[in-house]
Every structure is written in C-alpha cells, then in structure tokens.
Copies of this chain bind each other. A is one copy, B any other.
Amino acid sequence: MEKVAIGIDLGGTNLKGIILTEKGESKHVTRIPTEAEKGGARVMENILTLIGMLVEKNGGTDSILGVGIGTPGFIDQDGLMLGGAENLPGWKGTQVFAPIMEKYGLKATGGNDVTVTALAELRFGAGKGVKNMVCFALGTGIGGGIALGGKLYKGSHGMAGELGHIVVETNGLQCNCGQKGCVERYASATGIVNLAKSLCTDPGVTTPFAEELRKDPSQVTSKMVYDYVAKNDYAAVSVHKTATDMLARAVGITLNSLAPDRVVLGGGVMMAGDVILDAVKENTKKYCWPAIYERCDMTIAQMGEDAGVMGSAAMVFDEFAGK
C-alpha cells in the first residue's frame, strides 16, 4: 500500500490540510476556519476535526504514516508550543501531538510554519537535490528556513531559522522583537511599505509614486512599490535599493556562517521577481567571502500556496518513513 502523510498548515485565519504522497502528489486538500480568537483549546479541536475529515477522505488511517503540523511560533520535538505565536492567543503551552495520537493513533511531528516551507522547496521546488540551503520568506515579516545535509534543520526545540531578526543596521528601526535594525524592518512587505511612507511623506519628493502614496498612504503595498520600480520611479527605486541592500547584509551573514549551496528567496514580496533577486545577488557580494559567494547560487522559491501543507507533510516522510 502506498503510504501517505497528512500535512496541516496553521494560519491565523484558516487551517489547511493535505494528504500527500512521498513523491509530492496531493491526494486531497481541505481548509476550515482556525477560530484563533476562541483560544488554543478550540484551535486544537479544529485541528483534530480537520484530521478527521482527511482520514475519512483517505478511507481510514492504515496508509497514513503520520501527521505534520506547521505552526507559527516554536513547537518542540515533543509537540509542546513554546511560544512565539502572538496572533494565536492561548496557543502557547498547548500540547499538540498527544491528542492526535489519542484520537487517531497517528504519530505527529511539527515545525515552524515558515521553516517547513523550506522543506517543501527542498523536496519539491527550488531546492531539489540541494544539500545545504537557506530560505528567506519575505512576507508580512521575514521568516527563515534552513536545510543542511539534505534535511530540514529545526534547531534545538524547533527554534532555528529566525532569520528575519538578523540585525543589519546598528541602532536601526525598532523591531517588535525588542532589537533595533532587524532585516524584517526593511525587506518584508511591511518594511518596504514603511520605508516608502517615510521617504515619500517628505513633500519635496515629487515622483509619481510619491504623489500617489500621499493621496492615501494606507493603501500602499509592496506590490505598488514594485509596480513603480518597473517604471523606474526614483522614489520607488530608492526604497528598493535600501530593502535589497539590507536583505543582502543578512544573506551575507548566513553565507559566511553556513556556506550553503543555494539561497532561496520566497514569500509574497518575491512576486516582484528578478528585480529583487538580481539586486540581492549583486549586493550580497559585498557582504561575504568571495570564495563562498562564488559557490552559492540564489533563486526564487517555486512552491506556491501549498508550500506550508506540503512541507508539513514532507516532515512526516523524513522523520517517520522506514521506522
């Protein structure tokens, strides 16, 4: 019987679930509301409900190797939520694996929701065949994922990969984490928008982008910034230069530390594509050893929306297959 794995991606709004084969074929995808606002216990109930729906679709648990959970924050190897998921009240302290074993007799494993997308890239996307890979996911914040020796590196207690909090500017912009100058203050979607706002509120900046921004600053997105970068708008390009220089500083630090074969840039911001990739590539030269730089390539993530559930399910094959 072909073995499959269940992958669950826990988002602030939706719980998404998949049944995946080892080759990465999706047998079934479902989503239900997370109901995060109703607290950790309710979220756990909903996860169990979703697993039940997937088990039913699969015709029972016999062929299911286990369940992989991708969650915001830190989940340790025993399934305990250690924190770091501020948008899920009451989720910290939840024991995630035990109820799954109890209700369905299925083993479970877990990882940070961004970190597991790196595994999806490694198995099925931009990292196929790569041994050592570092991913930066440029979304609302910046998350990271590290794969070493062809395997996802979760770190002690599942906490590795907080690459968005590499400080790239001494005494720079204040970050939620308490530090100043974290790369996510500059190169995440939020960071790019804030850079644009603070540049363009100066009425002396009179480019078309700045004029549009001043009409309604609340409507600015990183996509809008990059639409104007494509038109070579001076103000938008200036924001782009800062964001990609800051990101390159963080990339350079990971190159000097880990000497990966490949760096993968993903997340919503990367919809802008090569303009960001090319700038980060060029800037990273300044921020690491040439011998390391020359032997590392850089590319854009390939996995789409399903990266979270697929990476979560892939953990199951990596950790439970043959055991």
B291-A83 in contact (CB<8A)? yes
Chain B residues with CB under 8 Å of A280's CB are none
Per-residue CB contact flags for chain A residues 232-260 toward chain B (1 = under 8 Å, else 0) read: 00000000000000000100111011111
In-complex Cβ contact of A179 among B163, B167, B260, B287 (8 A): B287
B253-A166 in contact (CB<8A)? yes
Minimum Cβ distance to chain B for residue A141 (Å): 13
Does A34 sit within 8 A of B, measured CB to CB? no
B286-A159 in contact (CB<8A)? no
Which of A15-23, A59-67, A149-157, A201-209 participates in binding chain B?
A149-157
Interface residue range, chain A: 35 or more
Does A106 sit within 8 A of B, measured CB to CB? no
Does A97 sit within 8 A of B, measured CB to CB? no
For the complex, what is the distance from the CA of A196 to the CA of B160, rounded to whole Å?
36
A160-B259 in contact (CB<8A)? yes
Chain B residues with CB under 8 Å of A157's CB are 259, 291, 295
Chain B residues with CB under 8 Å of A289's CB are 84, 159, 162, 165, 177
CB-based nearest B residue for A154: B259
In-complex Cβ contact of A287 among B167, B172, B258, B286 (8 A): B167
Per-residue CB contact flags for chain A residues 156-192 toward chain B (1 = under 8 Å, else 0) read: 1111111101111110100001110100000000000
A291-B84 in contact (CB<8A)? yes
Does A6 sit within 8 A of B, measured CB to CB? no
CB contacts under 8 Å to B, within A108-125, are none
Minimum Cβ distance to chain B for residue A291 (Å): 5
Does A132 sit within 8 A of B, measured CB to CB? yes
For the complex, what is the distance from the CA of A30 to the CA of B174, rounded to whole Å?
54
Per-residue CB contact flags for chain A residues 282-301 toward chain B (1 = under 8 Å, else 0) read: 00001111011001100000
A160-B74 in contact (CB<8A)? no
In-complex Cβ contact of A261 among B83, B156, B253, B291 (8 A): B156
Minimum Cβ distance to chain B for residue A99 (Å): 23
For the complex, what is the distance from the CA of A159 to the CA of B258, rounded to whole Å?
8
Most chain B Cβ neighbours within 10 Å, of A177, A254, A292: A292
Give the top 6 A-B pairs by smallest Cβ distance, nearest first.
A155-B259, A159-B259, A162-B256, A170-B170, A160-B259, A156-B261
Does A199 sit within 8 A of B, measured CB to CB? no
Does A82 sit within 8 A of B, measured CB to CB? yes
Minimum Cβ distance to chain B for residue A264 (Å): 14
